[in-house]
Structure 1
Amino acid sequence: MASSTVGQDFGVLETERYIPLIVLGSISSLLSIFGSTCVIYMSSKKLHKIMHRLVFLLSISDIMASLAALFMPYMVPSFMGLLGAVGNVASCSAAGFFLSLGVMMACCYNFYLSGYYLATVRKNWKEYDFRKPFEIAGHALALLVPLAISLIAATTGSMNPSPLANNLCSYTTWPWECFHNDDIPCERSSPELVTAVTISRATFTMVLTTISFIFTFTVWWTVRATLKKSDSYRFAGSSDNSSRTDERLKEVSTQAILYSLVYLNTFFWPFFGLVAGFGLSHEEMQDKKTKAGFYIVQVLYWMLYPLQGFFNFFVYTRLKFKAWRKADPDRSLVSIYHQIMIAKEAPPLSQRRQVRPETKQTNTSSNSAAH
């Protein structure tokens, strides 16, 4: 960025309001990195199954985005005057690149997870039904399209400090005013380029996200209809097979819904920011971000947005946790998660003999499509 812009009034937040954003964002990012690392460790032992491969790669994507979010406030150009900012143009572009890449890849793998659950419930697909060529093509899509969009944005100078959230490097021009004012020359990128990459990313993520939620809703609706039909045919003294199948369907549906809800939290905040800043001039954005209401939104953004990996850890281990809790209600949370992390799939047989018969089915279902 040219020296002519140095010393410009960027309208950054006061230090006392900026520090909570940095602290909350750092804590959330670290929690997410920890959660995703645990999921990678556990799922790496089961990569022969497609669901675990998808969760494994989803967690890698989340770590990439979380690391970018963690270091981004320090990689913003130092002349912005933000507390702790020691970066420059290149570091800001690099942080924005990895955040953009990680978020779009995570979008792809959440989409694949919802498709996996739909195929399992709706079509009753087994592991061998998921053809390798289609999976390879899916991985290529999840890497190449986000990589292309993020590279174009980074190499054309379209990654700059956001006018709405200055500690975030995103798609925008520099100086900000040149986007809406033709009399001000752009030093980095152009309105046309920024608009092109923004629309490309928004279209890509919106299409996959919409289809993903449709898939998840279809899973819920299918399971709901199946359970209603099952109840209408059930009679006293019937076999326990149908009830075990119903329980398994419920667990599959719950897993699909929980993964979608976790992703919804990740998707919502950037989408909200895009909508909040749409069509606003630089001056209007500066005025908006100093308002109490929007500051609260920024606090929520940095507190919740990076937490996908942290929440996914609890979704991924949910069935194992239920099995351990039923087998040993007095065991502490720390002890249960320790047992889960050291790769014990279910409570020891000596403990399971003391549990009701239906608990065995819960443990069995942890190896099914639900887990």
Structure 2
Amino acid sequence: MDSLSTDGEETLSSLTDAQEEVMSICMVISGLLSMFGSTTIVYRVLKKKKDKKPFDRIMLGLSTFDIIGSFSFVLTPFALPAATSPRVWAAGNDASCSFLGYLSQLSIGAAWYSCLLSFYFLATLRLRVSNDDFAVRFEPYIHGLSIFYFLFTATIGVPFHLYRETELGLGCWVTNRVPLDCTRNLDCIGHIVAWFYGGLCLFFTMVALPLNYFFTYCFVRQTLKILARHNPIQAMQVRKLGVQGTLYVLAFFISYGPQLIIRIFAIAYSYERSAEPGIYWLLVLNSICYPLQGFLNMFVYSRPNFLKLREAGMPLFQALRAACFQNDIPKAMEQRTLRVRSSKHYDSSEEITKFLSNVERRASAVSIKKPVRHYEESSLGFLPEVIEVVPNDEESTAEE
């Protein structure tokens, strides 16, 4: 057990050096992977030849904030103040901890953009807002206000000395010691500041994400029944969009789930460093998952192209590499157009036939009670261009 004295208080760490090193190594590796994944998304969005859609710009904002957050995770084990921190690799000072808190506040923007992504899917799928309308009516506000809020709160926290080493886990952010001369648990307002800085945003995101995608899923399920008999290819597209949104939700909760539980322990049950041995497995899981959102998003973002390449018969690992790092999918296939065809790896015709048979069987059971409606092709323009189905005689260069 290590102990250090700071401001008349004793800071304890009940973890062994080996346990501390495992936490630090996991955080650094996950942070580097997340930086790599988010940088890949930023590069692909900026290199897109076609006009960028709201989805692309939301992913650009999400990935940019995630790069900042991932960089802070890589620095965390080394930037903690050596004079007061019991962490085994701490080599920084108060200034480096304040800088780390600044980056940590900016990183919350990635979580907020995940929430905005869910509202985008809800608006374009459930409410039928077109991409053009979304870009004009909502985008200037959501990007402008989001960027201003996180830049303002992160910057204002530095001169007011809001950032200190967290009392549970690795990191520097807003702690309960605000103001610095407050008496512990009496005059301190740090928890109120923390709720304003990130708590309300994360809480709203945790609630909005599952609700938005639940409403979207219900609409997609109903739309599939209508589209299947009229346009099976479009029905497949809508189903892929529903799966795509669900995967973004899973990526978010995998990343932020352990961190949420740790913050609940710290705020509701007053957990501090002396309690870390009892939740060490949770701290290690948090060090692995919390910085990993960008890496997970890279795979979800690349999934539509990966499916196209597999449908075209490309081998698994080659398709995965091309989907993650290539913008021009036809060029990656070394042919002018990318067409869906049967192969030993994937037979799309079998999937469509199976899908249609299931839908027709369900539709026949309720056909007496409820008539089947049909959509005209022109009425499907509200669909977000995240996954694009192109006829065989046209060139397919859709990124998502």
Do they superpose with TM above 0.5? yes
**3-state DSSP class of the match of 1:305?**
helix
TM-score, normalisation: structure 1? 0.83
Instruction: Could you tell me which runs of 5 or more consecutive residues in structure 1 were left unpaired when the two chains were aligned.
Output: 183-189, 235-240
Amino acid at match of 2:53: K
Match of 2:296 in 1: 311
Identify the structure with the greater helix proportion.
1
Match of 1:28 in 2: 30
Deviations 1:124-156 (A, max 9, x none): 332211243531111122112223333343332
Distance 1:215 1:223 in 2: 12
Is the 8 Å Cα contact of residues 328 and 351 (structure 1) preserved in structure 2? Answer: no
Q: How does 1:68-83 map to 2 (within 5 A)?
A: 68-79=72-83, 80-83=85-88
1:256 to 245, 254, 259: 245
Distance 1:138 1:9 in 2: 41
| Residue 290 of structure 2 corresponds to residue 286 of structure 1 | no
Query: Structure 1 100/334 Cα, relative in aligned 2: closer, same or farther at 3 Å?
Result: farther
Match of 2:389 in 1: 364
Match of 2:202 in 1: 205
Q: How does 1:1-371 map to 2 (within 5 A)?
A: 5=7, 8-11=10-13, 13-46=15-48, 48-79=52-83, 80-103=85-108, 105-132=109-136, 134-165=138-169, 167-174=170-177, 180=184, 191-192=188-189, 194-200=190-196, 201-230=198-227, 234=229, 241-281=230-270, 285-291=272-278, 294-329=279-314, 331-334=315-318, 336-338=320-322, 341-346=325-330, 347=333, 348-349=335-336, 352=339, 354-355=341-342, 364=389, 371=400
Distance 1:295 1:352 in 2: 51
Is the 8 Å Cα contact of residues 323 and 363 (structure 1) preserved in structure 2? Answer: no
Q: Displacement of 1:260 after TM fit?
A: 1.4
Is the 8 Å Cα contact of residues 122 and 213 (structure 2) preserved in structure 1? Answer: yes
Q: Displacement of 1:250 after TM fit?
A: 0.5
**3-state DSSP class of the match of 2:111?**
helix
Distance 1:274 1:204 in 2: 14
Instruction: Could you tell me which runs of 5 or more consecutive residues in structure 2 were left unpaired when the two chains were aligned.
Output: 353-386, 391-395
Q: Displacement of 1:267 after TM fit?
A: 2.8
Amino acid at match of 2:175: T
Q: Displacement of 1:271 after TM fit?
A: 1.7
Match of 1:237 in 2: none
Is the 8 Å Cα contact of residues 79 and 97 (structure 2) preserved in structure 1? Answer: yes
**3-state DSSP class of the match of 1:84?**
coil
Amino acid at match of 1:18: E
Q: Displacement of 1:38 after TM fit?
A: 0.8
Amino acid at match of 2:102: F
**3-state DSSP class of the match of 1:170?**
strand
Distance 2:304 2:318 in 1: 16
Distance 1:263 1:332 in 2: 26
For this pair of structures, how many residues does the alignment match?
345
Query: Structure 1 94/118 Cα, relative in aligned 2: closer, same or farther at 3 Å?
Result: same
Is the 8 Å Cα contact of residues 77 and 87 (structure 1) preserved in structure 2? Answer: yes
Deviations 1:8-48 (A, max 9, x none): 44325221111111111111111111111111111113362
Query: Structure 1 159/226 Cα, relative in aligned 2: closer, same or farther at 3 Å?
Result: same
Query: Structure 1 131/310 Cα, relative in aligned 2: closer, same or farther at 3 Å?
Result: closer
**3-state DSSP class of the match of 1:191?**
coil
Distance 2:104 2:265 in 1: 20
Deviations 1:195-232 (A, max 9, x none): 2211212112212442233211111111112224556x
Distance 1:140 1:178 in 2: 35
Distance 2:17 2:311 in 1: 49
Distance 1:127 1:86 in 2: 49
Match of 1:186 in 2: none
**3-state DSSP class of the match of 2:158?**
helix
Larger deviation, residues 61-70 vs 343-352: 343-352
Is the 8 Å Cα contact of residues 163 and 172 (structure 2) preserved in structure 1? Answer: yes
Amino acid at match of 1:227: L
Deviations 1:149-205 (A, max 9, x none): 33343332221111211x3112214599966455xxxxxxx612x122112121122
Distance 1:322 1:123 in 2: 27
TM-score, normalisation: structure 2? 0.77
**3-state DSSP class of the match of 1:85?**
coil
Q: Displacement of 1:83 after TM fit?
A: 2.1
Q: Displacement of 1:71 after TM fit?
A: 0.2
- Of all paired residues, the percent bearing the same amino acid is 25
Q: Displacement of 1:92 after TM fit?
A: 0.5
Distance 2:213 2:316 in 1: 33
**3-state DSSP class of the match of 1:155?**
coil
Q: Displacement of 1:60 after TM fit?
A: 0.5
Query: Structure 1 334/28 Cα, relative in aligned 2: closer, same or farther at 3 Å?
Result: farther
